[in-house]
Each structure stands twice: as structure tokens, then as C-alpha cells.
Structure 1
Amino acid sequence: MGLELLFRPKKMARDSNLVTFFLFVVSILFFVTPIYGDNPLDLLCRPENGNYTFGSPFRNNLEQLLLGNLASNTAKKGFLSSSTGDGTDEVFGQALCRRDVNRSACGDCVRIASQEIMNKCNKKDADIWYEFCQISYSYSNFFSAMTYQGQYPDSNNQKQDVSNPEELSSALNKLMDGLISEAPWASSMFAVGSSNFPSQGHVYGLVQCTREISGGDCNTCLVSAWGDLRTCCSLHQGGTVVSRYCNVRFELYRFYNQHSEGLGKKRIILLVICILAGALLASLGVWVARRRWKRRMTRDEERDENELIQELPKPIELSISRGDLEYSDDMFVMDLVTLRAATANFSLTNKLGQGGFGIVYKGILPDGNEIAVKRLSMKSWQGVEEFKNEVTLIAKLKHKNLVRLLGWGIDGHEKLLIYEYMANKSLDVFLFDPMKSSQLDWGARYSIINGIARGLLYLHEDSVPKIIHRDLKPSNVLLDIDMVAKISDFGMARIFSEKQNVANTRRVVGTLHGFCGTKGESLNSWTLSY
């Protein structure tokens, strides 16, 4: 069982690592962003709106806006509109990344585009488009004043014609109508999807608007751009139309990433199913491992219980039998039902105290005799050892300053010890209570000290075998109705041979008590232990 406990966390860690690897592979398959080139799709410098000169306030503001604000902050949300300066030198700028690219690709694209537009254009109004991003700037506030002006990138001219344009046109119309009806009302104003193109598989499309314009203006812009795209490229195997406010594109291959919004929902559902399936398999593996571990623990506990019962002293020369209670000259054995009834089902109102391995309850037997029942911890192996130690040792000890063990009981996980009842509980109750400590005059204190000493002398010198208690403390010194001290709790006791006076110990035992030192430092003390 120890080895099983040792290796079980490692197995669970391996299961966790497998799940992590599985999710990593899935993320690679679904979320990888392709590498883009440094060349822009298109660049539009509007000469009709005037030039700026190098070193002018407008140029300085433009550099601060593009290379500073936009390049640094667009990647956070994939879109940013901002302005810098005032009066005739104020510059308005806007950057937009394609919704399906990650932050890293977005930031890199915006930085390259910002540098490129400043190197290639000295106009006061310009736009530049890359596959993953676009940047626009102007001397006037253009953010929401949508005016469509479509551009045709040179890449359109490199596309070959399709052999069945009517089939492509039908598939494209169906695809774009769906995307255009969806994107203007999406939070990101972006949609992607595909349509069946029987002769060549599928046709894939993407539409996107800048987020400053209204849903109605986005729809108007996309409809206009789709009209231009259909005119220029409906016979081609792909095409793109870009503008300051919206873009449309189609290809015969999937050019966008699948974790985007829009008609890629089927792939998203597939991804979720894969993740859930992996988590379910991992959970199933952990459940099987835990079940096997619990079965082994149950077998071990049953074996330990049987072995323990065989080692305990048996009732001999039974003289009286009353229901479930059997008395003998030495001890009696009692079942759990009787002990539950005696202690009112181990009620907290009957709780006398609590030790390291269990709780002690007051009980009243059917004949009116009072007893103390120690209910050991169900899951503690140390509790089993203490149980065995108590029964095998105390059964042989008879002294007026030692608590008498009357009997024991075992029922499944329950391990119970039955002692004579001590009306005044334990010595610590008196020592550490300001009111009760006044009852301990010097005569009572001397009697208690003398009783403890007599009990220890008997254990060390007169009992056979010799016994070292190893956990002597006020809570383990009980007081009867006449305040006679009796040593209890032999769970940590150690047996010495008759002539033995010295022994080596492999571990420190006893009870650790914490208290503060003179300067606030944390100190510890141990009860008597060997």
C-alpha cells in the first residue's frame, strides 16, 4: 500500500501531462497563424489632400501616432483609433488587424505597416493594407464618416481562371450573402466561412469592417466591396477587394485560421469535442486508478483487521452474558451497536476529550455502570498500532494509579477501547482553568504527584515486562471521583525486558507543545519520550 501511495501521484501527473500534450497538439492544428510576407497588398497615397514635409509638426505627430501609439497598443484588442496634435497639424490614425490572427502577428504586422507607410508616402491622407492588418491616417477625422473607395491588389491579377465560372458564381453568392448578413452585427464585425464547390471542393470567404462605423455602414461597405469583387474576380480562383472601412476576400483554399468567429463554427465545435474527449479519457484513467487503489486499501484493511483480532487477548472463562455484552475475568468484548447506544451515538454532548488518534466519549451501560469509550481514527494506521498497544499492554497491568482498560470492540473501520470512567476527567482541566485550579490545594497536589510517581515506578520496576510510557502529560493523567491520579493512554508505550535499562529509538515520539520564547521567537517542547 505504501508503494501504491508513492507512485499514484506520479501516475496522475503522467495523466495530466498527456492531457496537456493533447491540448497542445490540438492548439497547433487549429490555431497556428501562417507567416506573412513583408510586402503590402496595396498602398494608397491620396495626393489631392496635400503633402507634408519632413521635420514638420504634422510629420512629427504622424510618427508619434503610427510608430508609438498604434504600433504599441493595437495588438491588445486588434483595433485602435487615435489622434495626436491639434489644429492643422492634428493627425487621425486607425489600425485594424484581421480578427483570426493572434496578438503577436497583429503587433508585428502593424509595426511593419507603420514604418512602410511613412517610408513610401508623404501625403496627409493614406492607407496601407497587408494580409493581416491595415493602417489609415489623415489630417481629418475619418473614423465614422464612411465613404467607400475600393482597391484591387495586384495579387488578383496572378489568379488563374476557373473552368466552371457558373458553379463558382453560385457558390460565391451563397457564401458571401451569408457572411455579409452576419458580420455587421457581430461584435468584431468579422466573419469567415466556406461553401460547397462540387468540382473543386469548397470556396472560402472572409469579410471584415473597421469597428468605428455602424452596422448599417458596414453592411453598405461590404455590399459595395462584394460587387467590386464579383466584377473583377468571379472568374478567378480567388480575389481580394480592400478599402479604408471594409475588406472582402475569397479563395479555393482555406486561408484563414479556424478559431475565428463566423461560419467556422463546425470546426470550433469539433475542437471543443476533442478537448472534452481528451479530458474525459484522462478523468476515466484517474477514476480507474483511484478505484484500484481503494480496492487494494480495502483488502489491506480487512487483512490488517483480521490479523489484529488474532493478536488481541480473548475473553476467557466467560461468567456472565447480557445481550451483546460479554464479561470475563480480564476484559469484555462489546459490539458497535451497544457502544452507540451507550454513548448516544457518540454525541458531542458526551465528549470527554480528544487525543492524537481519537475522541473519548462518556457511556452508560444498560446496568447503569459508567464507562469511557475511546473511538480511534478510522483511517489512521497509527490508530491501529495504538489500539494494539493499548490492548496488549494494559490488559496485563493492574495498579491503582493506572487507568483500567475494561474491554475493546472492532466493527469494520471502527476500533474502540473501553476504560473505567474518570469522573474528574484529566489533570490539565484543573491546571489550566483559573477557577478549577483553586481546588488543587497543596495536599491535593502532593497526592496527585505521589500517585503519578507510584504509577511510573510500577511501570518501570514492578510490571512484567517493564513499560516506558513515552507520552506523559497532564491530559494523560486522569482523576477519579476521589481525585486519585491514574496514568492513561499507552498508545506510544514501549516494552523493555526485565533486565534492560537502555534502548535506542529510531524516531522521536510524544506530543509537541508550542509556546513563545522571551523575545517572541517560536520554541517547542516535548513531553517525556524515549
Structure 2
Amino acid sequence: MFSTSVSNRTILVPILALVAIQLFFIRSVTSVNETNAYLYHKCFEKDGKYKPKSPYEENINFLISNVWKNASVKDYIYGIEGYRPNTVYLAIQCRGDSYGSKCDTCRSTAYSELRKRCPRNKGAIIWFDRCLLRISPTTFMNKMDLKNKFYMYNRKKVRDPVSFNAKTKTLLNKLTNDATRGGPEREFEVYWLYEQGDMKLDGKMKLHGMVQCTRDIRETGCKKCLDGIIGELPNCCDGKEGGRIVSASCNFRYEIYPFLDTHR
């Protein structure tokens, strides 16, 4: 059902309908993240399948080829193509520090892998480290999705989990407030609904964090989404040196090492 590999550092916990929990292992890196690792995917079987060379597949291909090429802002794209019953809705979201060629490469990889992992599924979603891609026969615009999500965390625990947990929550809450400030004039900024930052810990150590939302849920929905998953920190990452919760609408990550491109 899922592709897995073994690592000594990171555990992936998929949440399926918030009931069944399974453990998997994935690769991770210990320095600035220059990779675009596959994280997770989900095929929505209830949406059915399309046939090869069908109008539905043609509409997907059109969106992938043309909407991306013609978009003025390419870190988040939402597109619609075709008439019922072959309408396709597609969204691509790149991580806030992954724009330009890195975003474009992730998009291409995500589409290729989604076709392999969810062959001919009308509805599916795939997450990579630098982007997510979602297709659906029904609209998901302006609909906050916390049902499709997963946890990832570092195997190592800190010495003082109570203090560390409090500081992690403080940092993520601050980043959430920064990411959701402003109004309509920010809609086409690269950093809209995204924020990264750090916090000093004991000695020379720093805690690094980021938050991000898909742009369709806007500021109010973004804050509600992030507040919701940050509230799940005790279930996900209690005392862990690093962790993240990733949903279809928002995500956060924190580590005790830099993991983002420092372009800001």
C-alpha cells in the first residue's frame, strides 16, 4: 500500500480516518535539506478510475502542461478543466523556500510519481518534501482538509521534554501569527501563508521551524488549520528533537538543525 524504507532518524505515522495508525520509516537528512524526498501519498478509491486516453486523462494532462506554464505565480496553483462528468480539479503547492526551478522540478516529479502510485485514480494526493500535488473530480477549493494527514518525527528525544515542548509550541505559534498577518494585498507574495524562523535554545543550539498553508483557505482558515495541528504536538512529537504534521491544507516542521534554504 505504501512505499517505505528504513532510517535511523525519522518515523512516519500515517493517520487514516484518524483511527487506524501504522508505522513506517523514511529517509531523512541531518543538514540543510537539498533533497526532494517522497513523503506520502493517498489514492481516493471512492472517486473511481479513468480510462487511458479518456477525456478525464486529457484534462489532467492539459492542466499539468498548460496551467503551470502560463501561471504568473507558480508556488501555488489551482486549476479546473473540462465539463462534467470529466471535470478535473488540480492543485500544486510548493514549500515556501522552493520556488523557480526547484518548484518546477518537484511538480514534474510529483505528477510522475502520482501516476505510478495511483494509476488512473480520478482523485489522489501526493506529498514530497518540497511540494504537494492533488487531483480530484470534485472541488476542494476553500475547504480545509485535516482528514488526510500524517506525522513524522525524529527518533531521538531531548533531555528536558517539558521545556522543549513549550518552546516548540511558542515558536510555531509565532510563525503562525506571522504567516497569517496581512490582507488581500499579500495574496501574490511568495511568502503568503508561509513563515520560517528560529529560536535560541540552551548553549549554541537553535530550534528551527516553518509553517505553511495552501492559499485557497486564506488567513482565517490557515490560522485555524495550523492551530489545529499544532495542538496535536503531544500526540505527534512529544519531546522529539524534530517533527512535523502534514495535512492537505497546512503543515509545520521543526528541527534542531537548519532544513530550509536561507534565502530570506
Which residue of 2 is the match for residue 115 of structure 1? 112
Are the equivalent residues in 1 in contact too, given 2:68–2:74 (CA < 8 A)?
no
Please give the secondary structure, in 1, of the residue aligned with 2:149: coil
Measured against aligned partners, the alpha-carbon deviations of 1:235-283 in whole angstroms (never above 9, x if no partner) come to: 21111211121111111111112234xxxxxxxxxxxxxxxxxxxxxxx
Mark the CA change 1:114 to 1:229 in structure 2 (over 3 Å): closer, same or farther: farther
Are the equivalent residues in 2 in contact too, given 1:113–1:128 (CA < 8 A)?
yes
**Residue type matched to 2:224 in 1?**
T
Mark the CA change 1:239 to 1:197 in structure 2 (over 3 Å): closer, same or farther: same
**Residue type matched to 2:66 in 1?**
N
Are the equivalent residues in 1 in contact too, given 2:82–2:88 (CA < 8 A)?
yes
Q: Report the count of equivalent residues.
A: 224
Mark the CA change 1:63 to 1:120 in structure 2 (over 3 Å): closer, same or farther: farther
Distance 2:137 2:85 in 1: 7
1:211-222 residue pairs with structure 2 within 5 A? 211-222=215-226
Mark the CA change 1:227 to 1:118 in structure 2 (over 3 Å): closer, same or farther: same
Which residue of 1 is the match for residue 172 of structure 2? 176
Which residue of 1 is the match for residue 23 of structure 2? none
Mark the CA change 1:73 to 1:244 in structure 2 (over 3 Å): closer, same or farther: farther
1:68-467 residue pairs with structure 2 within 5 A? 68-73=65-70, 76-121=73-118, 122-152=120-150, 155-156=152-153, 158-186=154-182, 187=186, 188-198=192-202, 201-260=205-264
Which residue of 2 is the match for residue 387 of structure 1? none
**Residue type matched to 1:51 in 2?**
K
Measured against aligned partners, the alpha-carbon deviations of 1:25-45 in whole angstroms (never above 9, x if no partner) come to: xxxxxxxx85314x4111111
Which residue of 2 is the match for residue 59 of structure 1? 57
Higher helix proportion (structure 1 or 2): 1
Measured against aligned partners, the alpha-carbon deviations of 1:117-142 in whole angstroms (never above 9, x if no partner) come to: 12211322211111111111111111
Structure number with bigger Rg: 1
Measured against aligned partners, the alpha-carbon deviations of 1:456-501 in whole angstroms (never above 9, x if no partner) come to: xxxxxxxxxxxxxxxxxxxxxxxxxxxxxxxxxxxxxxxxxxxxxx
Gaps of 5+ in 2: 1-31, 187-191
Distance 1:247 1:70 in 2: 25
Distance 1:73 1:108 in 2: 16
**Residue type matched to 1:178 in 2?**
K
Mark the CA change 1:258 to 1:74 in structure 2 (over 3 Å): closer, same or farther: farther
Please give the secondary structure, in 1, of the residue aligned with 2:231: helix
Distance 2:74 2:226 in 1: 22
Are the equivalent residues in 2 in contact too, given 1:100–1:257 (CA < 8 A)?
yes
Which residue of 1 is the match for residue 35 of structure 2? 36
Measured against aligned partners, the alpha-carbon deviations of 1:160-192 in whole angstroms (never above 9, x if no partner) come to: 222221121121121011111121225311111
Structure 1 ranges of 4+ moved more than 4 A: 73-76
| CA displacement at 1:99 relative to structure 2 | 1.5
C-alpha RMSD of the superposition: 2.2
Are the equivalent residues in 2 in contact too, given 1:184–1:219 (CA < 8 A)?
yes
Are the equivalent residues in 2 in contact too, given 1:109–1:133 (CA < 8 A)?
yes
Distance 2:90 2:63 in 1: 7
Are the equivalent residues in 2 in contact too, given 1:74–1:80 (CA < 8 A)?
yes
Please give the secondary structure, in 2, of the residue aligned with 1:237: coil
Are the equivalent residues in 1 in contact too, given 2:245–2:251 (CA < 8 A)?
yes
| CA displacement at 1:77 relative to structure 2 | 3.3
| CA displacement at 1:74 relative to structure 2 | 5.9
Gaps of 5+ in 1: 1-32, 261-530
What TM-score comes out, normalization by structure 2 length?
A: 0.77
Mark the CA change 1:70 to 1:227 in structure 2 (over 3 Å): closer, same or farther: farther
Are the equivalent residues in 1 in contact too, given 2:68–2:77 (CA < 8 A)?
no
Higher RCO structure, 1 or 2 (CA under 8 Å, sep 6+): 2
Which residue of 2 is the match for residue 395 of structure 1? none
Are the equivalent residues in 1 in contact too, given 2:172–2:230 (CA < 8 A)?
yes
Please give the secondary structure, in 1, of the residue aligned with 2:61: helix
Are the equivalent residues in 2 in contact too, given 1:237–1:251 (CA < 8 A)?
yes
